[in-house]
Structure 1
Amino acid sequence: MDNLDRSILDELRRNSRAGYGDIGQIIGLSASAVKRRVDRLVADGVIRAFTIQVDPTVDGMNTEAYVELFCRGTVAPEELLRILSAVPEVVDAGTVTGSADAIVHMRSRDIPSLEAALERVRIAPNVDHTRSAIVLSRLIHRSND
């Protein structure tokens, strides 16, 4: 992957519906050269999917929280993945350093549905407890996927 490929990815992140000709004008390639590069990036697995991003608040998912997850003993990341994948309100999660075992980002329609989702996480056999922080206002959001 070279700088031209990175520039193509940057443009697709800004607008995944941009035409190859439009991208080519910005980065200095022909439309066909951009298409060949995009096709290669897809074939190589660099580009995993083309998708849309819907504003969660428009979709009714107005309540969000960041949750620290604390486990009993040592729990493999695969087990945490299994537990958290079963809860649709979990939109992002990762294992972390520090006292918590994982940080979980959750979105729900309201506080009662958030509470129900948290309870589904808490009752998992390996989960000891959680500590939640409900988001009051979003200041910055950058997506680098």
Structure 2
Amino acid sequence: MSLDQELDAVDRQILALLVADGRRTVRDIADRVGLSPSPVKRRIERLERAGVILGYSTVVDQDRLGESIEAFAELRFNGDTDVESITASARRIPEVIEVFTVAGDPDALVHFRVSNVQHLHRLIDQLRHDRNVVGTKTLMVLDSWRRGQSPRSPA
């Protein structure tokens, strides 16, 4: 039996609660799903062991850290570039948050944060200096929304 078939409605409810707030206490989760804390703790530990829960993270206000520009760069590569090379080209750049290799055009989307337009310029130049990159297109984020994350206050 696959893990997906073993997940019941309570497991999925626990996961949704943890996605919304990873610091939520076992007691709070137990109250919300109608179980006592011990079985909830066992379920969470099982989900962690099974690799369903990969970890816990902190959501940071990047604007307050001085990295106010969030952007994506579409990258196009030479036709014979392998997928690992595509990811490696962006992984070396510390400002890069994520790299998505995709089917179609472009070949990859690179998600990153920078402090200002000059910083953005340098990062795009860095991406373009990879000998396999044949084209880029930069998209600056104006606003964002993510399921399970508290909305940002208007500026």
Amino acid at match of 2:68: N
1:35 aligned residue: 41
CA–CA distance in structure 2, aligned partners of residues 6 and 74 of structure 1: 42
- The AA in structure 2 aligned to 1:48 is L
Report the counterpart of residue 123 of structure 1 in structure 2: 129
Give, in whole Å, the separation in 2 of the partners of 1:42 and 1:126: 39
Alpha-carbon distance, 1:141 to partner = 3.1
TM-score, length-scaled by structure 1: 0.90
**Pairwise CA RMSD:** 1.6
Matches within 5 A, 1:1-145: 1-135=7-141, 137-142=142-147
Say which SS state the counterpart of residue 57 (structure 1) adopts: helix
Cα deviations across residues 82-134 of structure 1 (Å, max 9, x unaligned)?
Answer: 11110112112212233211112221111111111111111111111201122
Q: Identity across aligned pairs (percent)?
A: 34
Partner of 1:70: helix, strand, or coil? strand
Unaligned runs of 5+ residues in structure 1 are none
Task: Name the SS of the counterpart of 1:64 in structure 2.
Answer: strand
Look up the equivalent residue of 2:120 and give its one-letter code. Answer: L
TM-score (norm 2): 0.85
Q: How many residues align?
A: 143
